[in-house]
Amino acid sequence: MSANNKRVFYVKYLAHPIYVEMLAARPDVRLDRLENETAEEVFAPILADAHAYQVGAARDELAGHFHVHGDLLKRAPNLLIVSSNGAGYDPVDVEACTAAGVLVVNQSGGNAHSVAEHALGMLLTLSKRIIEADRALRRDPNVNRNTLTGTEARGKTIGIVGLGNVGGRLAELCSGLLGMKVLAYDPYLSATEMAARGGEKVELDEVMRRSDYVSINCPLTKASRGMIGAREFALMQPHAYFITTARGFIHDEAALFEVLRDKRIAGAGLDVWDKEPPPPNHPLLQFDNVLASPHTAGVTKEARANMGRIAAEQMLNALDGKRPPRLINPEVWPAYSKRFERAFGFTPG
């Protein structure tokens, strides 16, 4: 195999330096780094020659012209693979990729432990009203602790929307550590599959209505965009908490503001936002019973290293003609196979 005949590029960020190390060990692979500010005369030929794009998973960290949409795909006629750095793939138009014969893969499961632990941490912090107590203690010299009475999570009900890698791990933690009952909504899993992952299969309305805690753990897709709005929030119990470590735009921020303002739910834990990071004057940040983080649920040393490693392994295996295990658009495989064979002279399998 001739040197550097397989061309991969990324923009600004990778999950971990191990990705560069693993690709650098392959003489047949060339890896190019671009910046959001890279001039067009520099990035245009790299796009034109690229076979693969390791794309950032956070939409607001990536310049718009590097999002994977129809225009970029036209400028990258040799592109075969788009690989997200994370489990999410917000900057990628999957339908446009499928139409162009381009594989889309993610790194689902690589940060499952970290994200599930973050969701559980939010659940416990909200239950015990730790964040409210912390804020009160910093501004009031005479805090009345009786006004900060919390609740135990033990034996309560958690409703998980999306019982995949993260949701399944969260179910395991909640049921195993705290003896919680797990309800789950996931239209892509059977009741048997969900039971094996520790959840009782119910519809979304039942999750919202019956749960003491609602945790969102599904990807952002056309089906899930706007899934949790005013109607769904209205179903929640007044003592219930809403937690999301998934993606912005799955829940309606304005509708959440209204139920918090009117004290129709007990509070919220928010790791994801429509605009990331949210501005300090964001309406939801004005509530003491909102626990907020800037999309850091999966940002741990362990998760970053794991994501970088599996991203590199999956990319190299795909470039060697193997079928990726985390394929988002499997229906593209026949068209992709023909394009791959034209590029490299053999059929992937």
pLDDT digits (tens, 9 = 90+) for 161-175: 999 999 999 999 999
**Residue 349, pLDDT score:** 84
The whole-number average pLDDT for the span 44-49 is: 98
Q: Label residue 1 by pLDDT band (50, 70, 90).
A: very low
Identified catalytic residue from 210, 247, 251, 304: 247
Q: Which residues pair with 158 in a beta bridge?
A: 182, 213
Q: What are 243-273's pLDDT values in tens digits?
A: 999 999 999 999 999 999 999 999 999 999 9
Question: pLDDT band at 88, cuts 50/70/90?
Answer: confident
CA distance 119 to 161: 12
At 3 the pLDDT is: 67
At 186, the amino acid letter reads D
Residue 112 — pLDDT band, cuts 50, 70, 90? very high
% of the chain beyond a pLDDT of 70: 99
Q: What is the per-residue pLDDT for 151?
A: 97
> Which residues of 5-118 form beta strands (DSSP E)?
6-11, 29-34, 52-55, 81-84, 103-105
Given the residues 258, 276, 282, 323, select the one marked as catalytic: 276
Q: Say what the pLDDT of residue 254 is.
A: 98
Structure pTM? 0.90
Which pLDDT does position 58 carry in this prediction?
79
Active site residue 276: yes
Model confidence pLDDT, tens digit, residues 222-232 = 999 999 999 99
- pLDDT confidence bin for 60, thresholds 50/70/90: confident
| Mean pLDDT, rounded, for 184-212 | 97
Positive or negative: CA dihedral 162, 167, 171, 174: negative
Report yes or no: 133 and 108 within 8 Å, Cβ to Cβ.
no
- Confidence check: pLDDT of 333 > 70: yes
Q: What is the pLDDT of residue 57?
A: 79
53 has pLDDT over 70: yes
What pLDDT sits at residue 59?
Answer: 80
DSSP 246: S
The two three-digit tokens of residue 285, written as one number: 């940040």
| Mean of pLDDT values over 309-327 | 97
Query: How does the average pLDDT of the chain come out, rounded?
Result: 96
Cβ proximity of 117 and 245 under 8 Å: no
Q: Residue 166: in which H helix or E strand, if any? A: helix 165-178
